[in-house]
Amino acid sequence: MNFVKGMKAVRQLPADFEERRDIFHEQIKEAIAQHNILDDMVVNFDQTGVQSVPSGEWTLEEAGARQVSIVGLEDKRQITVPLTISLAGQLRPPQVLYQGKTEKCHPKFPFPEEWDIRHTASHWSTEESMCYFVDTIIAPYMTG
């Protein structure tokens, strides 16, 4: 038996990705310099789906097998986690979004006090959850 990896499609970057990236970075640097913006005040924000039931794409199977089945890959249960870091390297506490209509969908886990644990109907960010994220995570950092 050999160690093999399941297959999936790979995203393609635009041919001029590096040029576009460099132009974007230069525009950011110019704006920071022009307006005397502190590194603490420049934040990068993103959010990602996190699987509730972790699974991997690796399994043991005989090399050359026509199909490689991996248990758990079809499980799509997720939470959404928005994260923010400043240009100064300060990571802000996350918001964790569960799927549900009431707090009963939140796990009985002692999360750190500064984390924002919420829920939405789909676990995806909504306008309301994003406003709360800005009010409770970003704004206190900017004014503190």
d(CA 50, CA 81): 7
Span 131-141, average pLDDT: 90
Q: In one letter, which amino acid is 19?
A: E
Question: Which residues are registered as beta bridge partners of 120?
Answer: 99
Q: Which of 5-14, 47-56, 91-100 has the lowest mean pLDDT?
A: 5-14
Contact 142, 120 (CB under 8 A): no
CA torsion sign, 5 to 7 to 11 to 15? positive
Question: Which residues are registered as beta bridge partners of 96?
Answer: 117
Residue-wise pLDDT tens digits, 23-51: 999 999 999 999 999 998 999 989 888 87
Q: What is the pLDDT of residue 54?
A: 65
The candidate with the shortest Cα–Cα distance to 85, out of 123, 34, 137, is 137
The percentage of the chain sitting over the pLDDT mark of 70, rounded to a whole number, equals: 78
Q: What is the pLDDT of residue 70?
A: 64
Residue 85 pLDDT > 90, yes or no?
A: yes
pLDDT, greater one: 55 or 130: 130
What are the structural domain ranges in the chain? Answer: 2-6+40-68+77-143
pTM for the model stands at: 0.70
